[in-house]
Amino acid sequence: MIDAVVYALFGKRTRGERFEDLIRRGANSAEVELTFEADGKEYTVHCVRRRRGSEATLRRSDVGTIATTLNEVLREISKILGMDKDAAMNSIFIRQGEITSLIDADPKERKNLIGRLIGLDRLEKAWHNMHGVIQHFEERAKDYNAVKLKLELAEEERGKAAEEVRKLDEEIERLREELRRAEGDLKKVESELNDWKRRKERYHRLKERLAAVEKEIESKKGEVGRLRRELADAERAREEMEKIEPEIRKIPLLKRYVDALNEKERYEAERSKLADELNRVLVYKWEMEESGAAYEEYVEVERRIEEVRKRVEELRGVERRRVRIEAEIRSISREIEEMRSELNELEGRALGILPEATIEAKEALLDELGGEKARIERRRSELDRERGGIERRIEEIDECLGLLGESDVCPVCKSELTPEHREEIRKSFEGERGELAEKLRAVERELRELDLERGRVEERIRMVSGIDVERIAELRESLKTKTTEKEKLRGELESLQSELEGLEGLRRSLNELQSRLRGLRGGYERFIAARRALERERKEEEIRSELLKVEEVIKGLDGSLEELAGELGYVPEDPRADLDELEVLREKYDGCKLKANAIDEIRENLEKAEEELRELSARREGVLGEIERLRYSDEGYVEVERRFNEASRNVTRIRAELEGKVGQREKREGELRSVEKKIKELEGELKRLERVMRLVSDLERIRRAFSRDGVQRLLRRKIAPLISEYARSYIERFNLDITDVSVDEDFDISIVREGGEISIKSMSGGERVAVAIALRLAVARALAGRISTIIMDEPTTHLDEERRRELVEIMKSFFGGGAAVPQMIIVTHHRELEEVAQTVYEVEKIDGVSRVKPVETFGA
């Protein structure tokens, strides 16, 4: 039972090593449903634990499901109860044999127990765990000296590299000075070489001029000969031109004839193009006429498909509504079945006692039994009075017989007695006493019978009172409501069913329409294609009008060709070929004419060329004189060039050496940068390790704060007065002569009576239980603020009969009406605790399975 409550509320187990231990042997899962009330609201948590995984839900009676996974359920319950599972387990749950553990333990163990209850053990655990964390960071901080040594070596390496760079800078500066001197020498030789180059260039230019002049002389001699030949050719061309001039005059007429013919052919091509265009338009129109019916039917079918599809979608919503209603009907049917089962069980139990399972029958029977019990009590009172009278009379007779003895005086009338009279009186007293004793036995027999009868009546009253006719009435009303709701849903379901009858037909119709649509698609697409193509073409009337105009132009061109043929004097069979022949002849004519027109110019050019030939001969003589004055030789130029090359090689050698040194310097600078980067990284690592060392110091301070003399002591100082205050208020509820209970910061307990402080060992068993419960509740209240339930697991374990009796009396006094903790759940094997309970359940193992049954319900 406790396993179920603790697992449902806190997801914890109270025994076993694994959660799977909660599952009964041979089963695959464990299931628990728990209903509890908090802040006036009722909640139901349902958990299923399988060997692999779990599931849970939490419902609130007024809003429905509020959590659907185990973690969500536990979080919500923690919010509802105002405490987490550790606080709850340490406060409301008292484990087996722990009821007096706070009192019976030695001071050190008591300190640990209370520390665990308030969570100090977690701080202690944190204190221990931080030792490993500190060791981890201390281990990392051990690299500090090694990194520092690496940094020093790197700085030494940086100094060596910087010195090498400085020496290379000096060597580079020396080579740069040597390079400047060598470049100066090179520049002088280069200047001399440039002068020789200019003279060489001038020499070669003069040689080229000489060759060019000689070449011009040769060319000019050729030109003179050519001009003389051209003059003779031009005179022959003038004679040829005069012969072909009459044929050339026909070219303009023939050209006009060819142009008219070309224009006619162009218009004929245009006419053919327009005819093709007209034919396409007519074909597209025919195509639209052929496929028009298919297009219109396709559009109509598509519209009908959309209508049917909308209706099918609407009916799908109806179908989903039908599925929901069917689920609701099944759920209500299950509820009705469960309520009927419960009602049948309750009615069966009720009808075993009552004539009918109604509140009126129960009240009538209780009234009848109450009257019977009152009659028995009245008769019993009468018999009690009668028995008292008989017993007092017997006592008087016994007293008289004692006084009578051998006395000579009557104990009643005080008259003198004779032995005979004394014997007579004794016999009279003894006879009366015998009659009274018999009568007393009869009275006592009747009283015992009345007690048995009263017990039977009370038992029947208890049984009748235990009949939950209110629940029966509630179930009947709920059944009526649920049945009405179910019938209403069935009516709605039938209405939806009739509405859904056409759904399958609609689906078939939709498939047929879609199949028809696919069959019409080809004609539809032909119509669309023809219409789009026709939209890109011109209007038929426009094409026909333009075609008519072109034919009129062609007729006009035929007339022009007839006129031109008349002017030519013949109709050319191939006018273009004739025109080409005349064009060739005209080219010859033009050539002859050009040559003939150039006769005068050729004569003039011939005279000019002969004069230029004479001038060129004079120029050649001048160039020869200038070459002789230049005084240039190839040997002198080669010598100066050799000296220049030697100086240039020297500059190149110095530059190469300088570049090598610069390269070495760059390499050393790269190494220096690498070392500086390494130094920067090492400095960063050193700073990080310094932070780690500071962190170790901070962690050690934090660990000291978590120690027993740190925050643990502060918490003990803070919570000890609260525990004392709450324990004092609780102990006042017990009927004990203990006046005060207090707990100091070391959780040592002080107990005070009227006479002063007493030791725990001097307290009785009942007092120990009372103080233990008060302390336990005080700790719980200090942690949680409010406690509405206490769960005890075998609180009487290890207690003898006397201490169990004391525990019962303590609980009676504390958990009575108006108790600070209104609900207590106890699991026990000892029946004495039933006296404390309002409700008792008995757990029996039958065929290996635990069965729970209510045993007895007492009035509050």
Of 525 and 416, the structure prediction assigns the larger pLDDT to: 525
Beta bridge partners of 416: 409
User: CA dihedral in degrees (393, 395, 400, 405; nearest 10)?
Assistant: 140
| 590's tokens | 């033009």
**CATH code for the domain of 432:** 1.10.287
Do residues 130 and 706 make contact, with C-beta atoms less than 8 angstroms apart?
yes
pLDDT range class, residue 97, cuts 50, 70, 90: low
Helices marked H in 98-143 — which ranges? 101-104, 107-118, 120-141
Whether pLDDT at 35 is above 90: yes
Averaged pLDDT, 103-129 = 74
Averaged pLDDT, 419-424 = 76
pLDDT at 779: 78
pLDDT at 821: 67
* Max avg pLDDT among 554-563, 684-693, 762-771: 684-693
Three-state DSSP class for residue 409: strand
pLDDT range class, residue 33, cuts 50, 70, 90: very high
Q: How far is CA 668 from CA 119, 152, 654, in A?
A: 65, 19, 21
Whether pLDDT at 804 is above 80: no
| 696's tokens | 């170790």
* Max avg pLDDT among 262-271, 368-377, 405-414, 574-583: 368-377
pLDDT tens digits, residue range 325-345? 888 888 889 889 988 888 888
**CATH code for the domain of 74:** 3.40.50.300
pLDDT at 57: 93
| Least confident range of 212-221, 287-296, 585-594 | 585-594
pLDDT at 417: 63
Q: Which among 836, 719, 736 is positioned nearest to 778, based on CA atoms?
A: 719
Of 585 and 49, the structure prediction assigns the larger pLDDT to: 49
Per cent of the chain over pLDDT 70 is 92
Do residues 765 and 805 make contact, with C-beta atoms less than 8 angstroms apart?
no
Q: Determine, yes or no, domain membership for 89.
A: no
pLDDT range class, residue 852, cuts 50, 70, 90: confident
Q: Determine, yes or no, domain membership for 788.
A: yes
CB count in 10 Å sphere of residue 611: 9
Averaged pLDDT, 563-578 = 77
Of 98 and 145, the structure prediction assigns the larger pLDDT to: 145
Whether pLDDT at 860 is above 50: no
Whether pLDDT at 816 is above 60: no
Q: Determine, yes or no, domain membership for 108.
A: no
Dihedral of alpha carbons 726, 729, 733, 737, sign:
positive
Helix (H) or strand (E) holding 113: helix 107-118
Q: Determine, yes or no, domain membership for 177.
A: no
Q: Which of 25, 52, 82 is the last residue of a domain?
A: 82
CB burial class (10 A; 0-12, 13-18, 19+) of residue 27?
Answer: exposed
Residue 130 C-beta-side C-alpha neighbours within 13 Å? 19
pLDDT at 171: 87
486/328 Cα distance (integer angstroms): 8
| Positions of E strands within 80-161 | 93-94
Do residues 66 and 76 make contact, with C-beta atoms less than 8 angstroms apart?
yes
Domain count, the chain: 3
pLDDT tens digits, residue range 173-195? 888 888 888 888 888 888 888 88
Q: Determine, yes or no, domain membership for 810.
A: yes
Whether pLDDT at 414 is above 60: no
pLDDT tens digits, residue range 734-746? 667 788 888 887 7
Count, in order, helices (H) and strands (E) of the chain: 19, 12
> End-to-end alpha-carbon separation of the chain, Å?
23
Mean pLDDT over each residue of the chain, to the nearest integer: 81
Per cent of the chain over pLDDT 90 is 2
pLDDT at 814: 61
Helices marked H in 352-418 — which ranges? 359-404
| 693's tokens | 């060392």
Whether pLDDT at 795 is above 60: yes
Averaged pLDDT, 207-235 = 81
CB count in 10 Å sphere of residue 415: 9
| 582's tokens | 């005349």
pLDDT range class, residue 142, cuts 50, 70, 90: confident
pLDDT range class, residue 19, cuts 50, 70, 90: low
| Residue positions counted in the chain | 860
Of 437 and 237, the structure prediction assigns the larger pLDDT to: 437
- Classify residue 539 by its DSSP letter: P
Do residues 400 and 429 make contact, with C-beta atoms less than 8 angstroms apart?
yes
pLDDT at 87: 62
- Classify residue 24 by its DSSP letter: P
16/53 Cα distance (integer angstroms): 17
Q: How far is CA 145 from the centre of its chain?
A: 46
Q: Determine, yes or no, domain membership for 102.
A: no
CA gyration radius for the chain? 67
33/58 Cα distance (integer angstroms): 10
Averaged pLDDT, 564-576 = 77
pLDDT at 45: 95
pLDDT tens digits, residue range 662-674? 888 888 888 888 8
pLDDT at 785: 59
pLDDT range class, residue 819, cuts 50, 70, 90: low
Averaged pLDDT, 48-67 = 86
| Least confident range of 278-282, 520-524, 777-781 | 777-781
| 78's tokens | 């923690």
Q: Determine, yes or no, domain membership for 404.
A: yes
Domain interval for residue 428: 378-466
Q: Which of 466, 494, 512 is the last residue of a domain?
A: 466
The strand order across the sheet containing 93-94 reads: 93-94, 789-793, 823-827
pLDDT at 859: 43
Whether pLDDT at 128 is above 60: yes
Whether pLDDT at 294 is above 90: no
Q: Which of 466, 488, 507 is the last residue of a domain?
A: 466
Do residues 390 and 440 make contact, with C-beta atoms less than 8 angstroms apart?
yes
Q: Determine, yes or no, domain membership for 579.
A: no
The amino acid at residue 383 is L
158/304 Cα distance (integer angstroms): 90
